[in-house]
Structure 1
Amino acid sequence: MDKKWLSIVGIGEDGIEGLSLMARSLFDQAHIIMGGERHLAMLSPNDSREKFIWRSPFQDSIAEIIQRRGESICILASGDPMCYGVGATILKHIPISEVTIIPSLSAFSLACSRLGWNFTEVECLSLCGRPASLLQSYIYPGAKLLILSEGKNTPGIVAGMLTNRGYGDSKVTVLERMDGIHERILTGVAASWHETDIAALNTLAVECIADVGIVALSRFPGLPDSAFHHDGQLTKREVRSVTLSSLAPLPGELLWDIGAGCGSISIEWMRGHVRCRAIAIEQNSTRLKYIADNASALGTPHLQVIAGKAPEVIQNLPTPDAIFIGGGVTAPGLFDICWNALRSGGRIVANVVTLEGEQTLFRWYEKVGGNFTRISIQRAEPIGKFLGWKGMSQVTQWVGYKL
């Protein structure tokens, strides 16, 4: 169907009167109007057209739209429908060849204009329908954050998280109902934030200021070992950095982290880019809890955690772009399943510390090629009144590429 029967029109707090000529034309010609309760309340009481309010779950509304395919439908959406909006979701089900999208100013653009911030220097995220712990990976000294709020409680939640992370001096600004007659801006400091009379429709701006002595957590590979809760089953910082370099994550790629331990590899993989995805497979119940706690604390709450032993639990998982095997290398059939599951152009990285593990890796080297690296790390530790070098277990790493 080539005809563009569906229009998605961005609308601001100034309502229908604020629509552009093109947007107003699409709105006026539509036979069916869809949107949130707030959007439909902007319509004239005399508007007798068929109207639909978004349902919960949202998928039901998508089904409704598809069922009415070919009819003239206009969807009213807040701001820019393609910026954390309904437009991106709808286009997963209906091709752009059937859709016309007319954006309005996004909340991010409006906030930058109010604050005088350079949009290209700002970190943007949404906490609407998402875990607040997503914020954790965005916090660093000097960061400027723009956050779409879940509601009136979001500013208090964010202020509390900043304070607990040692960023209590951060400046917090709440921008309510931007571009409307009830627009209001509130400003305070995270550690002393006390505002509760806040509109549900708000955008949050944060200037991150670290307390004295706080060590920032980088997004680049190699977080301190102390950043993770663990029982010793942890890929150490230096080895982790080399391993992630070998895994070479790209935005949007999926990692299988087999024998995940405390989840350090998959968490750092996801911290590298907001679109990176990972599945952590671990059989130890205590470590499963560590993975969940670490993922939340370090800003990767969408890390998928699977309890069980490989290779049994990996048979029907989504196709990975990369696989890390940090445990269970000698399990019968594990490498065969992983290699067959890996997409063409993908890579497997495996770390071992035993001779038996090296034998397994060498057999695969003979079979598919790749390369070996031996990683030897020494750390300075006290010896009486002095410092001396203490060696960690040597790690043999094999990287295989599926061409």
Structure 2
Amino acid sequence: MSETPWLTVIGLGENGPDGLCPAALAALASAEVVIGPPRHLALLPDLQAEPIAWPVPFAQGIERLKSLRGRQVVALASGDPFWFGAGAVIARHFTPGEWRAIPGPSVFSLVAAHLGWPLEQTLCLGLHAQPMTRLRPYLAPGERAIVLLRDGSAVASLADYLADMGFGASRLWVCEAMGGPRQQITEGLAEDIGGSFSHPVCVAIAMEGPAQAALPKTSGLADDLFESDGVMTKRPARALTLSALAPRAGEHLLDIGGGSGSISVEWALAHPRCRATTIEGRADRIGLIAANARAFGVENRIEIIEGQLPEALCDLDPPDVIFVGGGLSAELLQTLLAEFVPGTRLVINAVTLEAEMLLAAWQAEQGGELLRVELAQALPLGSRRGWKSAYPLVQWSGTL
């Protein structure tokens, strides 16, 4: 039988040691050191072990743990350490033989059990260190979510955000200190819930709002959802472009000539593990990209680089897919061939005659698919209506 690891990560609930399993109690009894947040340490009775408050910032606690190698150590975390907890961070810094984890019931499980919600059909999010906009991709009438919050004051911020997004009629259950003697649950609507709440706190949400307030799950979001200076890939062309880019889970997009960032945003919305790097040479458009990424709750997965082509392409994290929406030149095409690995997918949009000629020559040399799309929109023409044509779009798609 293998030797017991020197580090044990224990998920502690609000009822302290009363909720721990025998293995966790035995680990505490034999520990030389117990390290954890002061709130967790206060839940334990007097121990023989040396108590250490987990330092701030969090990363310093990892270094403190490393300095304790060779002693029997217990690290305290909340509930299930591997569900928006410290477990994954600790596991990244230590080998599997050094540590073990003994999870407790997560706050998500406790809330779902109280409300009778099937957890596999409930969105679970940790917003204790994230902006409320992380909810944006998921807001839809009839959906349910349980979200962890930083502290009691964040409840009002969450309620205000829901109301601003058209979901003020959502029913909230504000859950404080779940599973312990201080447990308290307050129910109300997002648009009028009030009161003072204390940490630790989470909120269960039964979303209610107009269907049109939810983001469509297909490519080609409405143009007016984005901040723009007028230069952006419009909805029909964006839908065609996202279809050609074909995002898959976990893929990385390089968006050259980001503009308003609409392509990168929709790419990131395609899957929670999709990420994008966008290159833009104009500072004012850098601001637009950042604002749109924040508004859609995907700024943590979009890296923005201000730079000029082709120099900005050097030393980038290799992408799975490249989109060229601006700045097309023969030099750029040759740089793409030189800098990125064969097999990288590539989609290029062009509207000028010069760019169209480049793409025609590029297809003759590299193969791929060349598509020309002409779009027209019905608009008033005097007392009647007529077709107003957009510039024809030429799109090349293929692989390097």
TM-score class, shorter: over 0.9
The farther-off stretch of 342-351 and 153-162 is 342-351
Equivalent residue for 1:207?
A: 206
Q: 1:281 to 1:49 in 2, by over 3 A?
A: same
Q: Is the 8 A contact 2:330 2:358 kept in 1?
A: no
AA in 2 matched with 1:283: G
- Residue 335 of structure 1: how far off its partner (Å): 3.1
**What's the % identity of the aligned pairs?**
37
CA distance in structure 1 between the aligned counterparts of 2:91 and 2:342, rounded to whole angstroms: 27
- Residue 387 of structure 1: how far off its partner (Å): 3.3
Q: Is the 8 A contact 1:324 1:350 kept in 2?
A: yes
Secondary structure at the aligned position of 2:286 is classed as helix
AA in 2 matched with 1:229: E
Equivalent residue for 2:323?
A: 324
Give a deviation string over 1:184-216, Cα, whole Å, max 9, x none: 111111122222x101211111122115x8443
Matches within 5 A, 1:9-20: 9-20=10-21
- Choose which of 384, 387, 392 in structure 1 pairs with 2:385: 387
Matches within 5 A, 1:251-270: 251-270=249-268
CA distance in structure 2 between the aligned counterparts of 1:93 and 1:215, rounded to whole angstroms: 42
- Residue 341 of structure 1: how far off its partner (Å): 4.5
- Residue 295 of structure 1: how far off its partner (Å): 1.4
Task: State the 4+ residue runs in structure 1 displaced beyond 6 angstroms.
Answer: none
Equivalent residue for 2:89?
A: 89
Q: Is the 8 A contact 2:166 2:213 kept in 1?
A: no
Structure 2: any 5+ residue segments left out of the alignment? none
AA in 1 matched with 2:312: V
Q: 1:231 to 1:78 in 2, by over 3 A?
A: same
Secondary structure at the aligned position of 1:230 is classed as coil
CA distance in structure 1 between the aligned counterparts of 2:67 and 2:343, rounded to whole angstroms: 39
The farther-off stretch of 157-166 and 275-284 is 275-284
Give a deviation string over 1:197-254, Cα, whole Å, max 9, x none: 101211111122115x844322432110111111121111111112112222222222
AA in 1 matched with 2:121: E
AA in 2 matched with 1:35: G
> Does 2:180 match 1:186?
no
AA in 2 matched with 1:23: A
- Residue 360 of structure 1: how far off its partner (Å): 3.1
CA distance in structure 2 between the aligned counterparts of 1:277 and 1:289, rounded to whole angstroms: 18
- Residue 285 of structure 1: how far off its partner (Å): 2.1
Equivalent residue for 2:32?
A: 31
Give a deviation string over 1:344-365, Cα, whole Å, max 9, x none: 6431211111232233334443
Secondary structure at the aligned position of 2:157 is classed as helix
Secondary structure at the aligned position of 1:96 is classed as coil
> Does 2:7 match 1:6?
yes
Q: Is the 8 A contact 1:149 1:202 kept in 2?
A: yes
Structure 1: any 5+ residue segments left out of the alignment? none
CA distance in structure 1 between the aligned counterparts of 2:181 and 2:399, rounded to whole angstroms: 59
Secondary structure at the aligned position of 2:93 is classed as coil
Q: Is the 8 A contact 1:320 1:343 kept in 2?
A: no
Q: 1:53 to 1:238 in 2, by over 3 A?
A: same
CA distance in structure 2 between the aligned counterparts of 1:95 and 1:337, rounded to whole angstroms: 41
Equivalent residue for 1:401?
A: 399
Aligned length: 398
Secondary structure at the aligned position of 2:92 is classed as coil
Q: 1:364 to 1:35 in 2, by over 3 A?
A: farther
Secondary structure at the aligned position of 1:69 is classed as coil
Q: 1:225 to 1:110 in 2, by over 3 A?
A: same
Q: What TM-score do the two structures reach when normalised by structure 2? A: 0.92
